[in-house]
Amino acid sequence: MVPIPPIRPTPAPSPAGAALSLLAAYHECIGHLLVHLEDLLAEGLRDPAAREAVARDVLAGFDCALHVHMDDEEDDVFPAILAAAESPVRRAQAFELVSSLLVDHREMAELWTRLRVSLGALGGGVALPFPEFTARRFLDLCRRHIDREERELGDLARQIPRERLEQVAVSIARRHQVAADCCPRKGRGS
């Protein structure tokens, strides 16, 4: 008989870890949706029914995921980061990062608005020219944005006081619970 190892309680994540892992979950979701958008641009996805289904999934997924993720950051994370930046250097760093990420959010929203019409038409079986240049700009911007957040946001988030981080994590978790069906999608092959 093989001995069963004792169950060790898993330490609860820190408030910063909890908030950042919730943000990372949406980064992963958006990453999967970006892969599906790339599939629409690829020559390999020629079957009309498959293209329509992928277009519908991408449309529904991004409509939800972009809104939820931007709200996570704009309503909770960014204000907390700015409020927690105490030294002049940290304030400058936080202000530059948040300002830049907000500009990205506006540009992503604008590009997404342009893509929505074509994806809606494609998902409904209507043949319209697909805005490949807009889609590629959107893909590139989203990936650069996520990469920057993952490199720079964590350090600033760890400066947020524990009590405020707990509030941020609870608020984000509540938002994700309401939008639970937003991100069930997976990458290629699923």
34, 143 contact by CB (below 8 A): yes
DSSP symbols for 36-103: HHHHHHSTT---HHHHHHHHHHHHHHHHHHHHHHHHIIIIIIHHHHHHH--SHHHHHHHHHHHHHHHH
The answer to whether residue 6 is domain-embedded is: no
The answer to whether residue 9 is domain-embedded is: no
Residue with token string 């972009």: 66
User: Is residue 94 scored above 50 in pLDDT?
Assistant: yes
DSSP symbols for 155-184: HHHTTS-HHHHHHHHHHHHHHHHHTTTS--
Q: What is the average per-residue pLDDT within 107-114?
A: 96
The answer to whether residue 123 is domain-embedded is: yes
Task: Give the Cα separation of 178 and 185 in Å (integer).
Answer: 17
15, 77 contact by CB (below 8 A): no
Phi and psi of 6, rounded to 5°?
-65, 150
User: Which contacts of 43-47 are long-range, i.e. CB under 8 A and separated by 24 or more positions?
Assistant: none
Total number of residues shown for the chain: 190
Provide the residue range defining the domain that includes 74.
Answer: 15-178
pLDDT for 187 equals: 40
The answer to whether residue 42 is domain-embedded is: yes
pLDDT for 190 equals: 42
The answer to whether residue 155 is domain-embedded is: yes
Q: What is the CATH number of the domain that holds 172?
A: 1.20.120.520
Query: pTM of this prediction?
Result: 0.84
The answer to whether residue 190 is domain-embedded is: no
The string of pLDDT tens digits covering residues 38-91 is: 988 886 667 888 889 999 999 999 999 999 999 999 999 999 999 999 999 999
- How many domains is the chain built from? 1
